[in-house]
Structure 1
């Protein structure tokens, strides 16, 4: 009897150890982005989550938090630096708050098209910035790519830079955006992404800008029905991981996470091409006015501000010319 009880006790203990080992085997990581639910980048992040969860086979679980549930992009990045959030997927330009030369991604009319942005992400210039972000702030970019053009959404038609004079313009918490739209003549106001629609609806702001998919998902065009095809920025996307979180993974899981990021970001970049024109059609069908714009006068005015930006140290001197000529 004593032997039976002892055996039962040992079996129970062994079972408990197995459970403990099983519980410890699964690592859970929090993944966040601040794009609108249903937007292109939101769907990219869901794809990444699905790919990792399927391929990791229980060894790693990604918990994706949608929208701005964990705060703005700046707040999420700060949480990632602290490793309370392990993964982040959104626009690369947000990192200019910590590595100043990323600000070049937020200056209008720097890039001619998506192909030029792709060349940037393959360049030594980009690699240097990404390495600095990793070494100084514990953020490793797993994959990055261009997506859609940024357009201007306004309560009135804008055809020339003169039409921007005094316009109450929403900008994010990125200094370069503020300086760009000041250079173009507007009165910029910092408003979080989730509050833009209400700001437009109530007249607190009169215009906003953003990549087509994200702006469509956030219904900008319903409150600001004039959609100007300014294409002033080529938006980007990426997925990044906290360096300590990355180093804690086995080589096999690192490979899974990296390849899933590359696949999801690559999908978003390809999807952007076909989705952009379709969204213009949808917005027009829902009452928006799509306005083709001669971008040359806007580009000329933005170009005039480059020298001042470099003199003020917004980004390194000569960086604009170097990237513009890639």
Structure 2
């Protein structure tokens, strides 16, 4: 059953009616955990049950979770794990921690969540690392071009104890935030409707000279410029119209973002350049974490580990069964319903792109940012160490087969 069919019986108005009685967090947690087709009646019943369980005892801590534009619907498309983490944390602490989940851009958006978490307005946030890099620049460490070969490399690094010194500890030290877990995809170019009648892209050369919307990533702009992809900043509210009207050729993002953000109707080809990270992460205010008892801190870490394993499996399944990132596509997927073609580039073409833009082959393009990030870390060569670490696994490892590890334990 597709995500759209599962939730088709629930209107936004009905969702808010139920939330008005049982609270938005209880309603969203109930909706996110529902397995089959959902009606208003069974949503209300599930929300009531969730509410009664959550409010059976007074919590020691109530944590406010700002989840950008996410909600129960789109978290079944891009499986970022936010609701699963919240439910599990409440359950494993027997209600001593209560999580108030606030999505749909009600308290913060993709760019502002990180700053509101740093300011203590919210305690936990979920957003892409690229959009969060404006407020927490160390997150740029993930965005060196072609440092990760595939999604398996990304998951391997997130689980690796090496991620402590190369990502998590500098991020916490510099920005006061604790990196908990993340989804993992790689970015490509999502071509608009002007490319609908053109041949499916098979070469980076076909994209040369195109004009493409870029997100907040500083390092992504270096790669796009080197690939002659002409990165241009375009406000989100103008992006969909730009793709539809041909004012821009494409936008850099990843497949499930196209699907969950309702870009699919204005995207004709999803070109899988896979040139740098698309990582929808969840993080916590470090001061709030430090204020928990040792036992509850352990539970936060265990809930993060569980959420990471959930995301690894669920998003890999959703890419094929919900989004439609496969060849051939499964019927009923979002890409199939909207006639979005996958453009998978050959290994040779990806190598050509890598040689055009990566630090491995074009080190001079990256010197300034590489030196800056290395200084923030404490002196390590961040690109080289992450590059080497992820290549300790075979290049053809499937993402779902990466071994989960508790990264905070050696």
TM-score scaled by structure 2?
A: 0.65
Q: 1:94 to 1:78 in 2, by over 3 A?
A: same
Q: How does 1:282-297 map to 2 (within 5 A)?
A: 282=333, 283-294=335-346, 295-297=350-352
After superposing the two structures, state which structure 1 stretch, 271-280 or 82-91, moved more.
271-280
* Aligned-partner Cα distance in 1 for 2:237–2:298: 34
> What aligned pairs does 1:82-231 form with structure 2 within 5 A after superposition?
82-94=119-131, 96-97=133-134, 100=137, 102-121=139-158, 122-124=160-162, 126-142=164-180, 144-145=181-182, 147-155=184-192, 156=195, 157-193=200-236, 196-231=239-274
Q: CA deviation at 1:83?
A: 1.0
Return the structure number with greater strand share.
Answer: 1
- Work out whether 1:30 is the aligned partner of 2:64: yes
Match for residue 15 of structure 1?
A: none
Within 2, Cα distance between the matches of 1:314 and 1:224? 36
1:146–1:84 Cα change, 3 Å? closer
Identify which of 329, 354, 359 aligns with 1:299.
354
CA 1:23/1:120 → structure 2, altered by over 3 Å: closer, same or farther?
A: closer
Superposition CA RMSD, Å: 2.9
SS in 1 for 2:145: coil
Deviation at 1:235, TM superposition (A): 3.4
* Gap runs ≥5 in structure 2: 1-55, 375-379, 390-410
Deviation for aligned residue 1:109: 1.6
Give, in angstroms, the shift of residue 174 of structure 1: 1.7
Match of 1:269 in 2: 312
Other structure's SS at 2:107 match: coil
Structure showing greater radius of gyration is: 1
State yes or no: 1:309 paired with 2:366.
yes
Compute the TM-score of the two structures, normalised by the length of structure 1. 0.80
The structure where helix makes up a greater share of residues is 1
Structure with larger RCO (C-alpha < 8 A, sep 6+): 1
Q: Secondary structure at the match of 2:307?
A: helix
Which whole-Å deviations, capped at 9, do the CAs of 1:268-293 have from their partners, x for residues lacking one?
11112222223222213431222222
Give, in whole Å, the separation in 2 of the partners of 1:76 and 1:192: 17
CA distance, structure 1, for counterparts of residue 285 and residue 177 of structure 2: 5
Unaligned runs of 5+ in 1: 1-21
Counterparts in 2 of 1:67 and 1:151: CA distance versus 1, 3 Å: farther
Tell me: CA distance 1:187–1:70, structure 2 relative to 1, closer, same or farther (3 Å). farther
